[in-house]
Amino acid sequence: MPCSGSGSSKSPSEEPALTGYWKSECYELGKTASHGMVVLQIQDDGTFSRIHYTFNNATCSGDAEGANTYDGTITLGTVVAESPLTQEFHSFISCTDRYSTLKVQNSTLFIANGPDDGTTEELRQTDFADADKYTPITEAELPALPAPVKVAPTLCLQ
């Protein structure tokens, strides 16, 4: 099922399309001084990427220290409500199936994963109280990554 548009009867200017880039809030990475942020890229063809950025500051601003990208697929399911758009979906990423529910409201994408991260359809969550929150960003707003360090190997024989 294609992912374009919000699937609701609202005009496109009221809520962003589901496709594109969505960023999470900045969060602390365990016991390190680093912080992280997740960016989802959802494509029209049902593929998506989850990019985990790490930063050396508490605001996740400026250039990122590094990033890991995980690619997968998303299949939209039953529309639970039209306004705000609330829809079930199934994702597959890094050998993991997830059954989740999304809601797009006030230019925010909420993803409720449920117990065990929604590992079965029966465990799909519809309560958005503890949902992951993402806001839309453009490709130009993606964090820059430092240029890779080039190392020229040398051989020293004694």
Distances (CA, A) of 152 to 61, 66, 149, 155: 32, 22, 10, 10
Kindly give, in sequence order, each residue whose CB lies less than 8 Å from that of residue 33, ignoring residues fewer than 6 positions away.
56
pLDDT of 4 > 70? The answer is: no
pTM: 0.78
Percentage of the chain modeled with pLDDT above 90: 44
The mean per-residue pLDDT over the stretch 46-50 comes to: 91
Residue 27 belongs to what H/E stretch? Answer: strand 27-28
For residues 79 and 83, give the distance between their C-alpha atoms in angstroms, rounded to a whole number: 10
CA atoms 127, 82, 3, 63: torsion sign:
negative
Two tokens at 30?
């365990």
Confidence class for position 63, pLDDT limits 50, 70, 90:
very high
Which has the higher per-residue pLDDT, 130 or 135? 135
Q: What is the rounded average pLDDT for all residues in the chain?
A: 82
pLDDT of 147 > 50? The answer is: yes
Beta bridge partners of 104: 85, 109
pLDDT of 9 > 50? The answer is: no
